Amino acid sequence: MKRDLVEMPPDVAAELDRLAARYRAANGPAMQLLGIVGGQAENLLERLPDRVKDGLEEATRVALERALVLAGESRRNVADQPDWLNRLVTTALGA
């Protein structure tokens, strides 16, 4: 099956190149260290008694649900912000 290639506008190609470089850089030493630490934490959690794990899972679920509700409620009180500001705040908070 022959596929014809579609030429991308230069700005789209540049953005794809930028995103690809960002993706490759994201797996640097810091992320590898986080992966190791996260794996070790996961192993420690597995060693906990089921009752303790269940309690942690429930507390996490409740916290996430509350965060979702509060985020939804905040949308009524805070007007939409420019994309650049949303990105800045999200980046600063580590999300």
pLDDT tens track for 25-37: 777 777 788 788 8
Residue 40 tokens, joined: 């070790």
Euclidean distance between CA atoms 92 and 85, whole angstroms:
10
* Mean of pLDDT over the chain: 83
CB 56 within 8 A of CB 45: yes
Question: CB of 30 within 8 A of CB of 22?
Answer: no
Q: Dihedral (C-alpha) 55, 47, 31, 14: value to the nearest 10 degrees?
A: -60
pTM above 0.75, yes or no: no
